[in-house]
Every structure is written in C-alpha cells, then in structure tokens.
Structure 1
C-alpha cells in the first residue's frame, strides 16, 4: 500500500456517522483523513466505528487542534487546496486536481468558516444541485463524489 496522496480534510465535523463513512471511503481509496478540532462527537463513539465498520482502525488519520495549527504544521501550498461549499464559484468538475490535493470540507450545519475562505474564492467549488428544493447534500455523499472526481482527473479520464 502506497502513502496517500489525496487528503480529505474535515473542519470541525459534527456528525459521527458522516466522519465514519468518510473514513471508510478513505481506507478504500488509500487517502489520508485529516480532522480539525473541535468535533461534535468523540472518535471513540460507537457511531463513528459503526459507520466505518471494522475499517476505522485502518484509517490514515491526522488530527489538528485548529485550522491554524494545520496550516502551520502541514504548510499546504495554496494551489493544492480545494474548498467545497454549497455556493462555490466553480463546479467540482472544473479543476484538474493536483496529486497532493487537500480536499477541504466544513461542518455539516455551517460549512467552512469565513476566515478559512477569506481570499480563497477562486479555490471554492460546489457540487451541482439541479432542484432548488434541496438546500444541501449529506457531507459524506459530497466528499465521496468529490474524491472520485479528483481521482478521475488524475487518472486522465
């Protein structure tokens, strides 16, 4: 198994089932899962383990106390960060994702904080929703769709 290149970042996730399901996807695709505190749950909760089934122990997991500590310790290049919000300026289908991309998602109820998105408007993407009756999509579903799109662009088709 090779070291993960794509990194999925969850900023202050609130729902253990989503984090568990995303962790399971990360194991399946050999991705690193980066969690930024605070969480709305404990990683020891049964709900996280249940959604991740028995794969949670295999998650390549990194945790940071704050967004700033993540930036300070990881120093991700601006061009390798892709942010996902309901009202992003461009579609998830627009970029050619870098091999070492950081795919950044906010918490379920509020999305990403304005201070994280400040000056990053050109890096913010959205998943199309064609029916205006739907206000938002499930975080685990969106993260999975984005990861597969990023992988598709990296594989050339």
Structure 2
C-alpha cells in the first residue's frame, strides 16, 4: 500500500523541498503537477529537502489529467481533495484499505490559490476534506498540511513499513515533569 501526495501548481520551493523530505522518510510517492512556481533546481527547495531528493519517489506531470492517469495506473482507489471549500472533516474519513494493492492519493492545491475548481469537481464533493482550523483562519502552510494528512493516513493503515513498528502503547511511561 502506498500513499500518493499530489501537489497541483506548488509555488513555494521551501514547502516542496520539505514535502520531498517527508515523502522520502515515509515512503509516500510524490506527484508534482505543472505549472510549478519555481525551478526544480531551486536552491531553497534543495536546501529544505536536504539530501533526501535522491530517496524520494517523485513524478512530474504536465497536467492534472496526466497525474490522474498515473494515479489510476498506480491503483489509487481513493482520491481526496484537501480544500476549505464546503468540505468534510479530514479526521472523519476512513483511509483503511481492504486490499494491499489499493492506494490512497491526497491532492493539494497551491499555497496561493488552493485547488482549482475543475480538479475539485473531478475528484467529487464527497471526497473534499478539510483540516480543522479556527473560523477566522484562512489556511495552513502547505508542508504542514501535507504532514498532518500523510501521518493520519499512515496511522490509520498501521504505519505499514515503519522500521520501528510498534505493537502498541502498553510500555509507555506517563510523563511526569516533577
């Protein structure tokens, strides 16, 4: 089972670099959909990703349709759009999979414009999800949003592939600052 992260027209190289590092460390597949707001050799992006670029599984797509075709070919049986537009709470969505070959795709829009309406429509309103925020808040940082979502999906799937995979919380000692 693979989690696919899709960034549609990302604008800030530091965010994409951080997400590259996140994907390299979690085993997620990263998809970048053009146009990009930076050059892939951008110094800020490479610095934010440190030396993890070589460990990340990343594909670049010319269009959303090309990305969608690649996701379908990769057996992404669930595709969700992260958006603040009339969406459902992220934490109420069940990301567990019935079949080990089924994959999940999390689709994010750009930092400045969010996810375009036509892509949201293509994914379908039943699959529009949002992260909780205070009512007066506009949006979260893209790299933070991807991190929150990726780890929740991975948690729901039992952290498959984690090298230190835990069997539970039985041996935890409560924190006592005294």
Q: TM-score when scaled to structure 2?
A: 0.79
Q: Name the counterpart of 1:127.
A: 131
Q: Output the CA distance in 2 between the equivalents of 1:105 and 1:79.
A: 17
- CA offsets, 1:68-114, max 9 Å, x none? 12223442678510110123521111122145100100001111111
- 4+ residue segments displaced more than 4 Å: 76-79
Match of 1:94 in 2: 92
Aligned length: 153
- Give, in whole Å, the separation in 2 of the partners of 1:57 and 1:10: 19
TM-score normalised by the chain length of structure 1: 0.89
How far, CA to CA, are the matches of 2:31 and 2:12 in structure 1? Answer: 15
Name which one, 1 or 2, has greater alpha-carbon Rg: 2
CA distance in 2, matches of 1:88, 1:155: 29
Aligned runs of 1:70-149 on 2, under 5 Å?
70-75=67-72, 79-97=77-95, 98=97, 100-118=103-121, 120-130=124-134, 132-149=135-152
In 2, the alpha carbon distance for the partners of 1:78 and 1:14 equals 25
5+ unaligned residues in a row in structure 1: which ranges?
A: none
CA RMSD of aligned residues (A): 2.0
